Amino acid sequence: MNWKTLLRAMIPHAGLGHLLETYLTWSGVGIISSFIASALDAYSDIPYAAYYTSALNDAVGFKFWILLSVIGVLLFCLSVPVLYLALRFPGLAGFSARMRRFTYTFFLVAFDEGALMIGILTANFVDTNERISLLASKSFLFSDVGFFTIVALLILDSLLWLVGEAIYSRNERGYSGVVELLVNAPLKYSLPGYCLVTGLVVQVIVSQ
Domain range annotation of the chain: 14-207
pLDDT, mean over the chain: 80
What is the model's pLDDT at position 106? 94
Residue that wins the pLDDT comparison between 204 and 159: 159
Residue 103, pLDDT > 90, answer yes
Calculate mean pLDDT across residues 104-125.
Answer: 88
Exposed/middle/buried for residue 151 (C-beta within 10 Å: 0-12, 13-18, 19+): exposed
What does the alpha-carbon distance between residue 107 and residue 159 come to, in Å, rounded to a whole number? 10
What is the model's pLDDT at position 73? 92
pTM: 0.81
What is the model's pLDDT at position 55? 60
Pick the range with the lowest mean pLDDT from 88-92, 96-100, 175-179.
175-179
Q: Give me the helix-helix angle, 15-40 and 130-138, nearest 10°.
A: 120
What is the model's pLDDT at position 150? 85
Give the tens place of pLDDT for each residue, 35-65.
777 776 666 666 655 566 566 556 667 788 8
Residue 207, pLDDT > 70, answer yes
Distances in Å between the Cα of 197 and the Cα atoms of 49, 77, 95, 177 are 48, 9, 24, 17
